[in-house]
Structures are given as C-alpha cells and as structure tokens.
Amino acid sequence: MMAGGLAGLLTTHTLLSTSPVAMVAQFAAVALMLWARITFGRRSFHAAADPTAGGLVTTGPYHFIRHPIYTAVCLFCWAGVLSHVSIATLALGGAVIAGAFMRILPEEHLLVERYPIYREYALVTKRMVPYVF
C-alpha cells in the first residue's frame, strides 16, 4: 500500500516538490532514512512485516523513534502531498500512511514475541514522532 501510494504520487508528478520548505523536509527524510539504514546494518528489508535476526536496534535514530524508515517515507511523501494538495494527492498520501500502519502494528507484535525487551523500549520511545506519537 505504501509503494502504491508513492508510485501514484510519482506518476502524477506530485511526489517531489519545488517548494523550498518541502524540499528541506524531503532532504531531511532522505537523511533520516540513510541514518536509519546505516544504523540498522546489513539486515535485509522484508516485504512482509517480519523482524530480522540480530538483536533489537535501539541506537541512532532508533533511540528517538521506533520506526525511522517508515517515518522518513511518510515525511517525504507528505512534503510532496502538501506541495500539490488535491483530493488525489491526499488519497495517495493517506494510502502511504495507512500502509505504514499496516506494517507497523503487526511488526511490533512480532518484535515483542522475538525480543521481550521491546515492551520496555516501546515505553520510552514513540513510534514515529519523538515525544508525540
């Protein structure tokens, strides 16, 4: 669902922005994603919400939020959506957010099963927005 929303925004030329403020947000999203991927290490990305082996990562951006990669994708997407507001872009942006939550919730359930300490980690970090959500 996330990929579909992003593909829709890309094909309608509304994913990227020419607004300086949105461009800064998109640059920050790319930087956050790179930081998260480097911190996460050589683990692979799974199409299904399935935690990888190797221990729970709680350093880097994971120290502040539990899902920095999903956060980066949503930030990048919504910077484009808000630069090109229409019913279509709002719907596609909504699909990206919905897709992120469709991955986050089952992934967190699996993380609790694999890493019991995840419950404690979740108590001190927010899902996507530090100190808020």
Residues 71-110: tens digit of each pLDDT: 999 999 999 999 999 999 999 999 999 999 999 999 999 9
Q: Looking at residue 40, what is its pLDDT?
A: 83
User: Considering the domain boundaries, does residue 25 fall inside one?
Assistant: yes
pLDDT of 25 strictly over 60: yes
Give the confidence band of 131 by pLDDT, cuts at 50, 70, 90: confident
Q: Which residues of 65-74 are buried (b: 16+ CB within 10 A; e: fewer)?
A: bbbbbbbbbb
Other C-beta atoms within 10 Å of 2: how many? 19
Residue 115 maps to a domain: yes
Domain assignment of residue 45, yes or no: no
What's the predicted TM-score (pTM) here? 0.90
When the pLDDT of each residue in the chain is averaged and rounded to a whole number, the result is 91
Nearest to 21 by CA among 79, 88, 92: 79
84: in domain:
yes
Q: Give domain status of residue 46, yes or no.
A: no
Q: Give me the mean pLDDT over the 45-72 stretch.
A: 82
Number of separate domains in the chain: 1
Residue 129 lies in a domain: no
Q: Please indicate, yes or no, if residue 130 is contained in any of the structural domains.
A: no
Cα distance from N-terminal residue to C-terminal residue, the chain:
21
Domain of residue 89, residue span: 2-12+19-40+55-124
2-11 vs 87-114: helix crossing angle, rounded to 10: 150
Q: 51 or 31, which is more confident?
A: 31
103 within a domain of the structure (yes/no): yes
